[in-house]
A and B are shown apart, each in its own frame.
Chain A
């Protein structure tokens, strides 16, 4: 009896990682067929065009180009991507922000199984294609405030421009996102998860229950309250006063 094998490519400039991933896929995933394993972004583009894979394992940082640069050179992306990177790589933030799938080197078998399982779940749903095209747009856009954040809500996916977010309030396993048009959205992420995603993007967690967007701060009152509008003040926790003041001063200086 024949069964469908997932057509897959490995693109990584480290020969050790290519061997390791190929061996793990061969040994533990009989339904994955590695069609080719190449060492550069340029060869990756050629192999994608030739083989039309369903799944690629793509190194974030290669000698000739980054994985994102390689993807942006393709006219159409109709495969799913699992990025491969190291724990300390600066791109991890971009990968997490854009909700993309990734594996840390050297590849852990449990994580690989999880990523392949997610690939099978995503197939035909198009979620990952949306996230990837969003990621490429965000990475190409130098203005962080215009970056799009894709979040899950109870009703489906929510896509927000960062500049539109005024502040966020945590509510146990959920968070309320307050937008500049006066509405609020409930998302299925904790405040801590959002704090991590929004790090270095002009947002600050000033209190155990609040994150503020510096862009919408109108003033900082008596070292206790952040004024976001005529009627909206957000408290700053006592232990964060000094740090917030330094952070906000640096933000203002950088914005001038």
Chain B
């Protein structure tokens, strides 16, 4: 398989697939379907300044982000999960927007991986 990715690290994906390309495809498609929905919800919660929902959503996204090896996002998400109540709202917005930018880049990686391999 050809991996020309910039943001994601497919190592965990390759490990779980154990040579079965259908499994890799399943996780790529799932990422492509789930992440845009979650970005959409994240934007809505951010607009409403609903800190609790922002944390909840990031908490839910975190395992998938780790699995796809998006290491740039691990620390910002961990900070948001731990400091969501106390962090100034401007800082929280900036951090969440950074997360969204990186997730969009990861989506491009996943899209490319699907196009090049399946």
* Chain A residues at the B interface, C-beta cutoff of 8 Å: 13-17, 19-20, 23-24, 27, 61, 86, 88-89, 105-106
CB distance from B28 to the nearest CB of A (A): 12
A residues less than 8 Å from B60 (CB atoms)? 13-14
B34 at the A interface (CB under 8 A) = yes
A residues less than 8 Å from B81 (CB atoms)? 86, 88
Is B30 touching A105 in the complex (CB atoms < 8 A)?
Answer: no
Interface centre among B12, B16, B31 (most CB of A within 10 A): B16
Given A16-B31, A88-B59, A105-B63, 20 more pairs with CB closer than 8 A: A13-B60, A16-B34, A16-B63, A16-B67, A17-B63, A19-B30, A20-B63, A24-B16, A27-B16, A27-B18, A86-B59, A86-B62, A86-B81, A88-B78, A88-B82, A89-B59, A105-B66, A106-B12, A106-B64, A106-B66
B52 at the A interface (CB under 8 A) = no
Is A23 touching B12 in the complex (CB atoms < 8 A)?
Answer: no
Is B18 touching A15 in the complex (CB atoms < 8 A)?
Answer: no
Is A105 touching B62 in the complex (CB atoms < 8 A)?
Answer: yes
B residues less than 8 Å from A23 (CB atoms)? 16, 23
Q: Which of A24, A27, A61, A86 contacts B63 (CB 8 A)?
A: A86
CA distance A88 to B82 in the complex (A): 7
Q: Is the interface of B mostly helix, strand, loop or mixed?
A: helix
A residues less than 8 Å from B6 (CB atoms)? none
Chain B interface residue count, Cβ-Cβ cutoff 8 angstroms: 19
Is B64 touching A16 in the complex (CB atoms < 8 A)?
Answer: yes
CA distance A24 to B66 in the complex (A): 16
A residues less than 8 Å from B78 (CB atoms)? 88
B25 at the A interface (CB under 8 A) = no
CB distance from A65 to the nearest CB of B (A): 14
CA distance A243 to B26 in the complex (A): 52
CA distance A88 to B56 in the complex (A): 11
Also in contact, A106 and B63, with CB within 8 A (given A15-B34, A16-B30, A27-B18): yes
Within 8 A of A (CB), among B10-60: 12, 16, 18, 23, 26-27, 30-31, 34, 59-60
Residue of A nearest to B77 (CB): A88
B residues less than 8 Å from A89 (CB atoms)? 59
CB distance from B80 to the nearest CB of A (A): 10
CA distance A113 to B82 in the complex (A): 29
Is A20 touching B16 in the complex (CB atoms < 8 A)?
Answer: yes
CB distance from B32 to the nearest CB of A (A): 12
Is A20 touching B67 in the complex (CB atoms < 8 A)?
Answer: yes
CA distance A19 to B78 in the complex (A): 23
Also in contact, A19 and B26, with CB within 8 A (given A24-B16, A88-B81): yes
B residues less than 8 Å from A106 (CB atoms)? 12, 63-64, 66-67
Is A15 touching B59 in the complex (CB atoms < 8 A)?
Answer: no
CA distance A24 to B31 in the complex (A): 18
CA distance A45 to B92 in the complex (A): 37
CB distance from B36 to the nearest CB of A (A): 14
CA distance A7 to B64 in the complex (A): 26
CA distance A58 to B92 in the complex (A): 31
CA distance A15 to B67 in the complex (A): 13
CA distance A20 to B64 in the complex (A): 10
A residues less than 8 Å from B30 (CB atoms)? 15-16, 19
16 contacts between A and B (CB under 8 A): A13-B60, A16-B27, A16-B31, A16-B34, A16-B67, A17-B63, A19-B27, A27-B16, A27-B18, A61-B59, A86-B81, A88-B81, A89-B59, A105-B63, A106-B66, A106-B67
